[in-house]
Amino acid sequence: MIAESMYQELILEHYKNPQGKGLREPYDVEVHHVNPTCGDEVTLRVRLAGDKVEDVSYEGQGCSISQAAASVLHELAAGSDVRESLDRVDAFTELMQGRGKVEPDEDVLGDAVAFAGVAKFPARVKCALLSWMAFKDAVARSQG
Amino acid sequence: MIAESMYQELILEHYKNPQGKGLREPYDVEVHHVNPTCGDEVTLRVRLAGDKVEDVSYEGQGCSISQAAASVLHELAAGSDVRESLDRVDAFTELMQGRGKVEPDEDVLGDAVAFAGVAKFPARVKCALLSWMAFKDAVARSQG
Amino acid sequence: MTDQPFDVERIRKDFPILSRELPGGRSLTYLDSGNSSQKPRQVVEAMREHLEAHYANVGRALHTLGSEATEAYEDARDKVAAFVSAPSRDEIVFTKNASEALNLVAYSFGNPVNTDERFRLGPGDRIVISEMEHHSNIVPWQLLAQRTGAELRWFGVTDEGRLDISGLEELIDERTKIVSIALQSNVLGTINSTSPIVGRAREVGALVALDASQAVPHMPVDVTETGADFIAFTGHKMCGPTGIGVLWARAELLEAMPPFLGGGEMIELVTMESSTYAPAPAKFEAGTPPIVEAVGLGAACDYLSSIGMAAIKRHERELTAYALDALAEVPGLRLIGPRIPIARGATLSFTLKGIHPHDVGQILDDEFGIAVRVGHHCARPLHLRFGIPATTRASLYLYNTTDEIDALVRGLHHVQKVFG
Amino acid sequence: MTDQPFDVERIRKDFPILSRELPGGRSLTYLDSGNSSQKPRQVVEAMREHLEAHYANVGRALHTLGSEATEAYEDARDKVAAFVSAPSRDEIVFTKNASEALNLVAYSFGNPVNTDERFRLGPGDRIVISEMEHHSNIVPWQLLAQRTGAELRWFGVTDEGRLDISGLEELIDERTKIVSIALQSNVLGTINSTSPIVGRAREVGALVALDASQAVPHMPVDVTETGADFIAFTGHKMCGPTGIGVLWARAELLEAMPPFLGGGEMIELVTMESSTYAPAPAKFEAGTPPIVEAVGLGAACDYLSSIGMAAIKRHERELTAYALDALAEVPGLRLIGPRIPIARGATLSFTLKGIHPHDVGQILDDEFGIAVRVGHHCARPLHLRFGIPATTRASLYLYNTTDEIDALVRGLHHVQKVFG
Ligand SMILES: Cc1ncc(COP(=O)(O)O)c(C=O)c1O
Ligand SMILES: Cc1ncc(COP(=O)(O)O)c(C=O)c1O
C-alpha cells in the first residue's frame, strides 16, 4: 500500500476538493511545469508581499498524487512566510527523494506527510514534486 | 577427477614412457603447432606409404595431457590405414569437444578414451588435441 | 503432454510468491508478467543448489567445482539453444539482458575497425525500426545514428495497433543496413508478421533483428523460421532470473562482427600490442559470465518445456479472449491494441476515461492487491502515437486465471467509483 | 568486533560448499577465490527469499512487490556505496561484472557525440595501462585505441613483481587522457601504490581508473582516498553472486560521460527522433538491472562488514606470511610476485621446476581435492614478461586456514613425486 489508508483518504480528499485551485490575479510570476514521463502538467502563479507568500494559485491535470500535492502546497504555502515555505519545499523534496527512509516531520510538513508512501516508488516521486518544484521556481524568479 | 584413475595412470604411463618420441627420417611433411594459451608445442613428422601411415614421429613440450596425447596418437596412427587414422582423429576431436557428453567408442579410440575426462575442461581440450591437429594437418599437406 | 488439460492450479503451486499475503492481508493478483515474470521454485532451487554445492568460475578453472560449474553453464546454453531451435549452440550469446543484446548488435555497425561490408554504416545509410518499439529497441539505434551519421527511420502503427507496412518498399530501401522490430509488442500485444519485412530486407541486402523479449516467453519460437539474423530476449520475463539475456545470431554473422566488450574469456591470444579473439559465443562474453543466472535460465527452459510452449500459448489465448470480452464491458475503457485475440498476445493496455492510470494502478494495488503496470511501459513514442501519456497494462502468463481477470474488472469498477 | 579473534572455523560454517564431499570421497580445499569466491548462506538465502517473496521489476512498477523490489535494489546500492565509502550512492553504477565496468569507461572516450574535452580521444592521444593487468583491463583499451587511433602504452613490471614506475613522467605525458591500473594484481598479489600515478595524472590532466576487482574483496577500500576517478570491481569475487559488477565514478564525471548502453530505465524522455537521459546512475543501467544479484551483493557487503574488512585483511596477511614461508621450502618452486608479505595480497603464483602447471593442478585436484588455478589467469602479457607460459596460483580468502596451506605444500611434494 502506498501509505496508511488515513493518508490515502487525505490525498483523495485533496484530489476531489482541491484547495485554492484556479489561476488568480494579481500575481508576480507564472510558471508552467510538465512531467514528461506521465504527461502531468501544472501552471502555477505566486504573489509575494515582502516576506509573505500572499497567494499560490494553480491549474493543472494529472493523477491524484500530482493534483493533491498542488492542493496541499496551496494550503501550506499561501499566507505563510516565504523562508518557511521554502524550507517546507526542501523538507518535502527530501522526504520524496528519501526512498521511504526519511522520517517525515509532521510539524514541518502538515498534511504533506500523507505523501510519505509515494517515496518508495521512484516513478511517482515526480508526480508529487511537480507543483512543489514549480512553486520553488516561481518564488526564485519573483525574488530574482 | 579428470577421469577414472585407471585412465589417469594410462596418461601418466604415456607421459613417462612416450611411444615413438623423437623426430625420425624419412618423412614427407613436418609441421610445428603451438597452443598459445599454455605454451605447449609439438613438432610432428609423417611418412605415408600409399594408404598406410608408415611413421609418425614427434618432439614437443608441455603438460602430461599434451605429451601423452602425442604418444597415444603415435601408437594408434603409426602403421595404420590413413583413412582409418583420420576417422580416429575425427572421433577424438568429437570426444574432446563434446563437453563430456559424447560417449567414447573404445573400439575406435583405443587408449585415447583415457582422455574422455579432459573434455569437461574447455581450457584443457586444446592440450589433448594439439598433436592430433598437427597430425591431421601434416597428412593433409602430404596428400595435398 | 500438450494433450493434457492445462492445470493452472498445479502450475500456481510452483510459484511460491503467488500465495504470498501482502501487507494488510490482501492476496496477490499478479498481472505484471510483461514487466517481469515470477519464478517457479524449480528455478530458485536450481540456483540455490548450484550456489551451495557446485559454484566456481567457468571455463578457465581445472578443478572439480570448475568442471561442474562449466558443465552447468554450458548445459544452460544447450537448453536455451534447444528452446528456440537454434541450429547451433554456439549461436547463443549470454548477455545481461535483452537491452545489452540489442546494444551489442547496434555496436557491431559502424565500427571503424570492422571491414565486413554489411556492418559498415555512415551518413547516407539507413536504420529502420518501428513506432511500437520498447525504448531498448529505440535508443541503441538513436545512439548508433548519432555516432555514425546514419539516418533512423521507422514504421508507423495503425489505429488498430498493427504495424503499418504500407510504405515497406520506400522505408526499407537500398541504403538500409539494418531493420530492428519487436516480434511482440509489450504494450499492444501485437504479434508482428516478420515475413514481409524479412523478405524486403533480403531484397535490399539489409540485416534483420527481432526483439523477441515478449515473444519467447509466451509461444514456441524457432529462430530459423523467423528468417531473422539476430534475435534478442531476456531471462527474467520467461521465469528465469534477472542478470541474464540472450542474443541469438547466425553463426556466420557472429564471426563477421567485431568484438563488443573486451576482457577475459573473449580472447584467444593477448599481447600488450594486440589481441586475437575467441570464436563465438565466447567472443561476446567478456569477463565472468552470469553463471548462476544461466543455471536458472536453463531450469526455466526446462520448466516451460515440461508444460509445453504450445500449451502455454493456448492458455494465454484463452485468457486473452476472455479478458478482451470482459474489458469491453467496462464503461469508458479504451483498449490500445488489437481488439481480437488473433496475432496478439496476452497483453492488455487501456485507459479509463477521466482517471489517470497512476490512480488506477494505485487503487488496484492498495485495495485489491492487483499488480498491473501503469505509465508508458518504456514505449513513450507509441503512447504519443495514440495521443495519451500513459496506459494501464495487464499482462498475463501461464499462471494467470480467468478469476484474476474477473478480479481486475471488479477492481476497475471500484476505481471508477472512487474517482467517479 | 575487530578486536575479537578471527574465528575462521565459525566463518567456514557459513559456506556450505566448503564442507561438500567431492567425488571419490575427497574433501574440498578451495584455494581459487581470486578466480571466484564462494558464497555464504546469508547471501544465498537473501537471494532465495527475494525471489520467493518480493520479486518484481524495479523502478517502473507501482505495486507492492514493485516497491519492495525497488527498495531492495536501491538498498543494495546504499550498502555498496557505504562499503567503499563512496561520497554519494548515485556514484554507484551496477554493471554485469568488472569487465563491463571497465568497458563502460573505455567507451566514454572518443565518442564523437560527446563534447567534454577530457573524454575526447584520437590520434596523438595516449592511454596508459600496465603489464600486470588482467585482460579485462587490457583489451577494452586496445579496442579503444583501434577505434580512435590513440596510442596505448604501459608500465613495466620489476623482477620482484612490482609496478616499474621509473619512467612515470615520460609515460604519463601531456597527451595522456586516461591511466588504468590494477589496485591489486590477480597474479602477483602486488598492491599498487596509486598516489604517484594519480599525482602525475593530475599534473597532465589525465583521468585515472583503478581495477579494484582483487582489492575490494580483501581490504578496506575508500574510493576517495585512492584519488582515482573511476573504480571497477565485481560481485562474484567478494562473496556476492555472478551477474553483477560495480563502477564507481565521481558524480561529475558520470554526468559528463555519454550514455553507453541505450534502453529502458536509462532515459528521461524518448521520442522517435531523439532522447534525453536520466541522471546517473540510471543513465548507465539500461534495461532490467541485476535485481536479485544486487540483493545478493548487498547481503555480501553486510556479511563482509559484519566480520570487518580490516580483520579480513589481517587474516589474509597472516595466511600470506605463512604461505610464503611454506612455499619457500618446496624445492624447485619459483614464486612469481613479491616474496615478502608487504603491499601484497594473499595470491601466490608459482612454477614447479620441470612440471607443467596443468599437471600440478590436475594432481592436486584429483588426489587431494585441492582447487587451485593453473594457466595465465587472464594475464598473459605478465606471464610473457616472466618468460613463462603459465603458473599455478593459490589465492586465499577469509575462509582459508593454515591447515589448507599445509595441505597444498603436501600436495606439491606429492606432485613432484608423481612427475619426478
Ligand atoms: C584484476 C582483475 N580484473 C578484472 C577481472 C574481471 O572481473 P569479471 O570477470 O568479474 O569481469 C578480474 C577477474 O576475473 C580480475 O582478477
Ligand atoms: C519488447 C521489449 N523489448 C526489450 C525489453 C528489455 O528487456 P530487458 O529489460 O531485460 O533488457 C523489454 C522489457 O523490458 C520489452 O518488453
- The number of distinct structural domains making up chain A is 1
Cα(C183)–Cα(C192) distance, rounded to whole angstroms? 5
Classify strands D29-30 and D370-371 as parallel, antiparallel or unpaired: parallel
Residue appearing with cell numbers 606439491: D412
pLDDT reading at C55 higher than 50: yes
Distance from CA of D206 to the nearest CA of C (A): 21
Long-range contacts of D322-326 (CB under 8 A, 24+ apart): D322/D402, D322/D405, D323/D348, D323/D394, D323/D396, D323/D405, D323/D408, D324/D348, D326/D405, D326/D406, D326/D408, D326/D409
Q: For D218-252, give the DSSP string.
A: TS---HHHHT-SEEEEEGGGTT--SS-EEEEE-HH
pLDDT in tens, C66-122: 999 999 999 999 999 999 999 999 999 999 999 999 999 999 999 988 889 999 999
Cα(D127)–Cα(D154) distance, rounded to whole angstroms? 8
Domain ranges across chain C = 8-30+308-418, 46-305
- β-bridge partners, D269: D276
Work out the pLDDT band at C1, boundaries 50, 70, 90. Answer: very low
Q: Which residue of A has its CA nearest to D57?
A: A121
pLDDT on residue C59? 81
Residue B97 phi, psi (nearest 5): -90, 5
Which of D392, D356, D396, D389 is closest to D374 using CA atoms?
Answer: D392
Q: Would the CB of D213 count as within 6 Å of ligand 1?
A: yes
CB contact under 8 A, D35 and C61: yes
Cα(C240)–Cα(C301) distance, rounded to whole angstroms? 8
Cα(B113)–Cα(B11) distance, rounded to whole angstroms? 10
Where does A24-121 have alpha helices with state H? 64-77, 82-96, 106-109
The Cα-based distances of B129 to B83, B136, D344, D363 in angstroms read: 18, 10, 38, 20
- D-contacting residues of B 40-79, CB under 8 Å? 40, 62-65
Cβ proximity of B84 and B110 under 8 Å: no
Cβ proximity of C402 and C319 under 8 Å: yes
User: Is residue D81 within 8 angstroms of chain A, CB to CB?
Assistant: no
Cα(D394)–Cα(D109) distance, rounded to whole angstroms? 36
Q: What type of residue sits at position A34?
A: V
Cβ proximity of C56 and D17 under 8 Å: no
Distance from CA of D4 to the nearest CA of C (A): 28
Instruction: Summarize the confidence of residues C201-229 as an average pLDDT.
Output: 98
Tell me C288's DSSP state. Answer: S
Cα(D391)–Cα(D376) distance, rounded to whole angstroms? 6
CB nearest to B121's CB, from C67, C268, C269: C67
Ligand in nearest proximity to the CA of D32: 1
pLDDT in tens, B8-66: 788 989 999 999 999 999 999 999 999 877 778 999 999 999 999 999 999 998 999 99
Cα(C311)–Cα(C398) distance, rounded to whole angstroms? 9
**D186 Cα–ligand 2 center, Å:** 36
Q: Would the CB of C99 count as within 6 Å of ligand 2?
A: yes
- Give the CA-trace dihedral at D111, D115, D118, D120, to 10 degrees: 40
The Cα-based distances of D237 to C63, C137, D75, D233 in angstroms read: 17, 33, 20, 9
Ligand in nearest proximity to the CA of C96: 2
CB contact under 8 A, C356 and A8: no
Q: What is the pLDDT along chain D (420 residues), one digit of tens a residue?
A: 445 689 999 999 999 999 999 998 999 999 999 999 999 999 999 999 999 999 999 987 789 999 999 999 999 999 999 999 999 999 999 999 999 999 999 999 999 888 899 999 999 999 999 999 999 999 999 999 999 999 999 999 999 999 999 999 999 999 999 999 999 999 999 999 999 999 999 999 999 999 999 999 999 999 999 999 999 999 999 999 999 999 999 999 999 999 999 999 999 899 999 999 999 999 999 999 999 999 999 999 999 999 999 999 999 999 999 999 999 999 999 999 999 999 999 999 999 999 999 999 999 998 999 999 999 999 999 999 999 999 999 999 999 999 999 999 999 999 999 987
Where does C61-109 have alpha helices with state H? 64-83, 98-108
Cα(D94)–Cα(D85) distance, rounded to whole angstroms? 16
Looking at C131-262, which runs of residues are DSSP E strands? 151-157, 163-164, 176-182, 207-211, 230-234, 245-249
Cα(C323)–Cα(C334) distance, rounded to whole angstroms? 13
C and D touch per CB criterion (3+ pairs under 8 A): yes
Assign A118 to helix, strand or coil.
helix
Q: Taking the CA atoms of chain A, what radius of gyration do you get in angstroms?
A: 14
CB contact under 8 A, C358 and A127: yes
Angle of helix A64-77 relative to helix A5-16, nearest 10 degrees? 80
pLDDT on residue A3? 42
Cα(D307)–Cα(C269) distance, rounded to whole angstroms? 40
CB nearest to C390's CB, from A1, A5, A38: A38
Domain span including residue A9: 1-143
Cα(B115)–Cα(B98) distance, rounded to whole angstroms? 12
Cross-sheet strand order for the sheet of C163-164: C92-95, C245-249, C230-234, C207-211, C176-182, C126-130, C151-157, C163-164
Q: Would the CB of C293 count as within 6 Å of ligand 2?
A: no
CB nearest to B38's CB, from D366, D390, D419: D390
Residue with the larger pLDDT of the pair B132 and A119: B132
Q: Do domains D8-30+308-418 and D46-305 have the same CATH topology?
A: no
Residue with the smallest CA separation from ligand 1 atom 15 is: D213
Residue appearing with cell numbers 494495488: C365
Cα(C224)–Cα(C210) distance, rounded to whole angstroms? 12
Torsion sign, CA atoms A87, A93, A96, A99: negative
Q: Would the CB of D262 count as within 6 Å of ligand 2?
A: no
Enumerate the active-site residues of C.
378
Contacts of D13 (CB under 8 A, 6+ apart): none
Residue appearing with cell numbers 565496468: D101
Residue appearing with cell numbers 510483461: C34
Work out the pLDDT band at C402, boundaries 50, 70, 90. Answer: very high
Q: What is the percent of chain C where pLDDT is above 90?
A: 95
- Mutation test of ligand 1: which of C270, C288, C291 has the most ligand atoms closer than 8 Å to its C-beta? C288
pLDDT on residue B5? 52
What atom in ligand 1 is closest to the CA of residue D378? 14
Q: Would the CB of C37 count as within 6 Å of ligand 2?
A: no
Which of C281, C212, C294, C283 is closest to C250 using CA atoms?
Answer: C281
Q: Which residue of C has its CA nearest to B1?
A: C64
CB contact under 8 A, C287 and D100: yes
What atom in ligand 2 is closest to the CA of residue C378? 14
User: Is residue A37 within 8 angstroms of chain C, CB to CB?
Assistant: yes
- D-contacting residues of C 378-397, CB under 8 Å? 378, 380-381, 384
A8 contacts in chain C (CB < 8 Å): 366
Enumerate the active-site residues of D.
378
Q: Which residue of C has its CA nearest to B39?
A: C269
* Interface test mutation site (partner C, options B2, B99, B125, max chain C beta carbons within 10 A): B99
Work out the pLDDT band at A5, boundaries 50, 70, 90. Answer: low
Cβ proximity of D144 and D106 under 8 Å: yes
What atom in ligand 1 is closest to the CA of residue D99? 11
Looking at D275-345, which runs of residues are DSSP E strands? 275-277, 333-336
Cβ proximity of D64 and A1 under 8 Å: yes
CB contact under 8 A, C35 and D380: no
Cα(D4)–Cα(C393) distance, rounded to whole angstroms? 55
| CATH class name, domain C8-30+308-418 | alpha beta
- Taking CB atoms and an 8 Å cut-off, how many pairs form between chains B and C? 23
Cβ proximity of A40 and A65 under 8 Å: no
Region of A3 on the Ramachandran plot (φ > 0 left; ψ -120 to 50 alpha; else beta): beta
Cβ proximity of C377 and C391 under 8 Å: yes
| Fold of domain D46-305 | Aspartate Aminotransferase; domain 2 (3.40.640)
Distance from CA of D341 to the nearest CA of B (A): 28
pLDDT on residue C3? 56
Q: Which residue of D has its CA nearest to C42?
A: D52
Cα(D236)–Cα(B4) distance, rounded to whole angstroms? 31
What atom in ligand 2 is closest to the CA of residue C34? 16
- Mutation test of ligand 2: which of C234, C238, C391 has the most ligand atoms closer than 8 Å to its C-beta? C234
pLDDT in tens, C315-353: 999 999 999 999 999 999 999 999 999 999 999 999 999
Cα(C44)–Cα(C59) distance, rounded to whole angstroms? 24
pLDDT on residue B3? 42
Q: For C291-358, give the DSSP string.
A: HHHHHHHHHHHHHHHHH-HHHHHHHHHHHHHHHHHHHHTSTTEEEES-SSSSSB-SEEEEEETTB-HH
Cell of D146: 583501434
**D82 Cα–ligand 1 center, Å:** 22
Residue B42 phi, psi (nearest 5): -145, 135
**A86 Cα–ligand 2 center, Å:** 40
Cβ proximity of A30 and A43 under 8 Å: yes
- Mutation test of ligand 2: which of D60, D265, D266, D288 has the most ligand atoms closer than 8 Å to its C-beta? D288
CB nearest to B123's CB, from D366, D375, D419: D375
Ligand in nearest proximity to the CA of D36: 1
**Among A40-49, C180-189, C395-404, D1-10, whose mean pLDDT is lowest?**
D1-10
Angle of helix C291-307 relative to helix C309-328, nearest 10 degrees? 80
Classify strands C347-352 and C391-395 as parallel, antiparallel or unpaired: antiparallel
Work out the pLDDT band at A65, boundaries 50, 70, 90. Answer: very high
Domain harbouring A138, CATH code: 3.90.1010.10
pLDDT in tens, A90-101: 999 999 999 888
The Cα-based distances of A20 to A33, A54, A75, B113 in angstroms read: 18, 12, 8, 87
Contacts of C343 (CB under 8 A, 6+ apart): C190, C191, C193
Q: What type of residue sits at position B37?
A: T
Distance from CA of B9 to the nearest CA of C (A): 18
Cross-sheet strand order for the sheet of B52-61: B29-35, B40-49, B52-61
* Interface test mutation site (partner D, options C52, C242, C274, max chain D beta carbons within 10 A): C242
